[in-house]
Structure 1
């Protein structure tokens, strides 16, 4: 009986979070429906990313703040689900999810700030602008797909393992598209790209999982 009660509580707060995420999508549509559509299909629309680079919009406005909040919350839900299924020492509940959410938000904010500072310091901001914009655009794009997959997994008999494999697959697709559309920059500066991957992608991920496990 206790186990059933716990599942009901978990299900109720996750439902509330999903409703909030749905509300964020509505807010994004109200702010700029065309840009929202562009980010949903950004993975398959290089022209939209090029347009975003040309317009150079501020990443601190309401649309991008809402989009960032939607993506990080979605990723936090998936990461929380993974930890609760595969880490027996991980306590389930909204407080644990909040902890995961804060770490995920902190991870992306610190990474973004360091990348921007270094690009300005080495005077390569314009050179790597498409690289950075495409990286976040692809992340936002797969976040919408992951949100749909999470809802389907949550309210259907579908095993959560499918969600984890689908998440890994989408991140691999993101990586392939990202490398393909930035191949000239990457292969012309391959040594520095490898250093960047080690310093800003792999090392932070180790720190991220170390904080949560």
Structure 2
């Protein structure tokens, strides 16, 4: 458990912000939110709302904000557990982490849309991005109780954080795998371009990010 008062205060405010975001979503989009929370168990949300995608979607925007906050909290907890940080720099570090995560994801999505247009993969990538972003946003929901437990109940250990990270990765990977399974025939028709897309925009950015972080 993170017992330092400075940590608890800022993390409590951020967790309350996440809960407020979910409350707003539930009030504004009750049916859609209900479908979204069951995204792991059925494809209803993806089928219904995937057909009517918008570039700027309020529902997805709120969920994305919640995801950024959740990832920032989890990242700081992980960084503190592995390397230790000064509580004086917590607010600034949280802000930088949240902004960095948000910019990284947004730029990646924009580049993916651009490349998909260049490679004539719009029909495949459009739904792929929607499903991938939806599963990412679902991780944001999972991070609320996970972060709360790490802050107030358990003492974060390296092995525990690695296990949680693997679970989150598996949940995200399941979503991507299900997309591949549903669209296998369509992907086969563009297999070369799709492999090029995966290597360029799904693998390379994370390799570069990992190398950047490990050299800091």
* TM-score (normalised: structure 1): 0.85
Residue 77 of structure 1, aligned match among 68, 73, 86: 73
Asked whether the 8 Å contact 1:138–1:174 carries over to 2, the reply is yes
For residue 114 of structure 1, what is the aligned residue in structure 2?
Answer: 111
Bigger RCO of structures 1 and 2 (CA < 8 A, at least 6 apart): 2
Cα 1:202/1:122, change in 2 over 3 Å: closer
Which runs of 5 or more residues in structure 2 are unaligned?
none
d(CA) in 2 for partners of 1:66, 1:125: 25
1:199 aligns with 2:200: yes
> Could you say what secondary structure the match of 2:40 adopts?
helix
Asked whether the 8 Å contact 1:153–1:163 carries over to 2, the reply is no
* TM-score (normalised: structure 2): 0.84
d(CA) in 2 for partners of 1:188, 1:147: 40
d(CA) in 2 for partners of 1:121, 1:195: 12
Partner deviation per Cα, 1:70-119 (whole Å, 9 max, x = no partner): 1111112111211121124x545111111111110011010111111222
Cα 1:59/1:43, change in 2 over 3 Å: farther
Asked whether the 8 Å contact 1:28–1:36 carries over to 2, the reply is yes
Following TM superposition, by how much is the alpha carbon of 1:162 offset from its aligned partner in structure 2, in angstroms?
2.8
How many residues in Structure 1 have an aligned counterpart in Structure 2? 207
> Could you say what secondary structure the match of 2:153 adopts?
coil
Asked whether the 8 Å contact 1:10–1:94 carries over to 2, the reply is no
d(CA) in 2 for partners of 1:163, 1:37: 29
Equivalent runs, 1:1-213 vs 2, <5 Å: 7-56=4-53, 58-88=54-84, 90-92=85-87, 93-157=90-154, 159-160=156-157, 161-183=159-181, 184=184, 185-186=186-187, 189-209=190-210, 210=212, 213=216
Q: What is the CA RMSD across the aligned residues, in angstroms?
A: 2.4
- Mean Cα deviation higher: 115-124 or 104-113: 115-124
Cα 1:59/1:177, change in 2 over 3 Å: same
d(CA) in 2 for partners of 1:106, 1:24: 20
Cα 1:208/1:98, change in 2 over 3 Å: farther
